Chain A
């Protein structure tokens, strides 16, 4: 049973479109995250969110917005997609902020054409 699941796994879309990536965790964790993998090595945190606070990385364009309908979900909405948004996006969760274990989703490869 997958702990953190993201959908879709692959997303190809045209510039200017609006798209969403969904993330669900069934671990009962309090904190969820979105990361952007720009290259093979580097991960950049975009957001962290628990049921009390949203922490936004200031370098993230406001075209990116997280939406949390409930504690188990943190979806990523992206408006007016640009070529530079092409990357792999990871969702993750942990029991508390900076907790001992973090569970990562499988990633969503977004390709903007």
Chain B
């Protein structure tokens, strides 16, 4: 059973506009959430994270929103740039562990 779900396998956005990537989870014990960015033939690289005590975390063009009641988080990229084109993974971990549970990824394509 997939505890972390990314239901959109792909997303296409025009340069300069907002990209919104979504992630849902089922395990209420998750308390820490991360987004990773992955280019072909490379491992995922850490992008941004959020603790369950917050509902928003911002880092430059990237903002992650957490809705605990809905068990939903999203990554907003504003403005989107062609270099943002990659696969984005959502991941989560439980309290007192650092073991990650990954979603299946969403491929973002930013076109000019």
A residues engaging B (CB < 8 A)? 33, 35, 37, 39-45, 48, 55, 88, 90, 92, 97-98, 100-104, 106-107, 109
Contact = CB atoms under 8 A, between A and B. Distances in A.
A41 B99 contact: no
Given A35-B43, A88-B98, 8 more contacts: A37-B98, A43-B36, A43-B100, A88-B100, A100-B105, A101-B104, A102-B38, A106-B101
Contacts of B100: 37, 40, 43, 88, 90, 107
B59 to A, nearest CB: 13
Contact of B87 (A33, A42, A102): A102
Interface residues of B, number: 26
Contacts of A106: 101
Contacts of A45: 42-43
Interface string B1-18: 000000001100000000
Query: What 6 A-B pairs are tightest by C-beta distance, nearest first?
Result: A98-B40, A45-B43, A104-B102, A40-B98, A41-B46, A100-B107
B93 interface: yes
Contact of B98 (A39, A48, A92): A39
A21 B40 CA distance: 25
